[in-house]
Structure 1
Amino acid sequence: MPDPVERGFFQEVYEVFRADGLAAAARHFVAGIGGTLKPMPDPAGLPPRAAEMIGRLNANFPVFMEHELRQFTSYVPDEAALAAVCDRLVLAAGLETRGHLPYRPAAALADRLGGKVTEFPGGHSGYTDAPEEFGQRLLEVLSSR
C-alpha cells in the first residue's frame, strides 16, 4: 500500500540525514509532508515532566531517522484481514493534514476498504496541537462505536 513516490520521499529523507545531518533531514521531511507539523515547544517554558519528554524526543530523533522512518512507512497492511473487521476500524487523520502525506495513507486505506476517514482536530499530532478538542472528538468517536 505505501505509495512508491512517498517511499522514495522517505528514502530521500534518509539520504539527506546520512549526507547532511539531522537538521537538514528534518527540514526536508517537514517540507515534504506539506509543512503540517508544528514546531516542538521550547522546553524552557514547559513543566519539568513535559520538558523531559521533549528532551527524550529530541535525543531519539536520530534513531528515528536511522532505524524507524523507512521501516515504518514501508509497512503494507493486510487489507484482507482489515476488511474482515472494517466495521470496527476507525481510520483517522488530522484535519489540518488533509491532502498531505500524513493524511493520504489513511484515506487510501479507507477508500480500499469502502470506508471513510474520521477527522480529528489539529494536524499530524492533534493530541498536542489541540488537546481539548482532540480529546472531545475522541470521546465522540469512541462513544459512537
Structure 2
Amino acid sequence: MVAHEPPYFAILPDAADQLAFVDEVYRLFRTEGMGAASAHFLAGIGGTMKGLPDPATLPPRTAAMITRLMANAPVMMEHELRQFTSHRPDITALAPYADRIVLAAGRETRGHLPYRPAALLAEQLGIALTEFPGGHSGFTDAPEEFVSHLVEALQVPATVT
C-alpha cells in the first residue's frame, strides 16, 4: 500500500489545534461556501497544494478526472474531511504489515501539515518515509516524475508472497 500524505491529523502532538482548523474549514464551507473553505484549507496546509488545472486545457481523460475531483469537492468537505482527519490508525494492527506499507509525502510539503502525519506514522511503524515530487498534489504538480516514484514504490520484494 502506498499512502501519500494520509490526513491523520489526530495523531499529531498538536492534534487539537489541527482538528479545530478542520472544524473551521467545515464551518466556512457551511456558512460562506466552497471558495472560503478551500482558501482557508489551502492556507492552513501551508500553500502546498496547487490549484487544479482548467479541464479545457487538458487531454480528455485527464480533463474528466479533474472535472470529477471538482464535482466531488463538496462531498469531501461535507462528509470526508472531518472524518478522515480525526481518524487514528491502529499502529498495533498495521505493524505486522509495515514491510508492505509505503508512507509517502511531497518534497514541497516538508514541515507542513500534509507531510507531518505521514512522517510521524512512518516513525511509529519503524519504516522510512518516501518523498515524492511536488507538494500535496504531486500527481498534478509533476505527473511523470510522480508516476515514476509510484511505480518504484509499488515494486513488491521477491520475498513477499
* TM-score (normalizing by structure 2): 0.82
Whichever residue aligns with residue 63 of structure 1, its letter is: V
Please tell me the root mean square deviation across aligned C-alpha atoms, in Å.
1.6
Q: Is residue 2:29 matched to residue 1:17?
A: yes
CA positional deviation for 1:112:
1.6
Q: Match for 2:152: what amino acid? A: E
Alpha-carbon distance between aligned partners in 1 of 2:146 and 2:112, rounded to the nearest angstrom: 19
Percent pairwise identity: 63
Question: Partner letter of residue 24 of structure 2?
Answer: E
Partner of 1:128: 140
Tell me what 1:87 maps to. Answer: 99
| 2:153 alignment partner AA | V
Q: Tell me which of 24, 46, 51 is aligned to 2:63.
A: 51
Match of 2:153 among 130, 134, 141: 141
Code of the residue aligned with 1:122 in structure 2: it is G
Q: Residue type matched to 2:56 in 1?
A: A
| Mean CA deviation greater in 1-10 or 118-127 | 1-10
Q: Which residue of 2 aligns with 1:40?
A: 52
User: Unmatched 5+ residue regions in structure 2?
Assistant: 1-10
SS at match of 2:102: coil
Between 1 and 2, higher relative CO (CA 8 Å, sep ≥ 6) is seen in: 2
List per-residue Cα deviations over 1:113-136 (Å, max 9, x = no partner). Answer: 222211111111222211111122
Q: Aligned partners of 1:142, 1:52: CA distance in 2, in Å?
A: 25
Q: TM-score, normalised by structure 1?
A: 0.90
- Residue type of the alignment partner of 1:130: A
Worse overlay, 112-121 or 15-24: 112-121
- Structure 1: runs of 5+ lacking an equivalent: none
d(CA) in 1 for partners of 2:58 and 2:46?
27
Dislocated runs of 4+, deviation >6 Å = none
1:62 aligns with 2:74: yes
Give the superposition deviation at 1:144.
7.0
Q: What is the distance in 2 between the residues matched to 1:132 and 1:47?
A: 15
Between Structure 1 and Structure 2, which shows a larger proportion of helix residues?
Answer: 1
Residue 87 of structure 1: SS of its match in structure 2?
A: helix
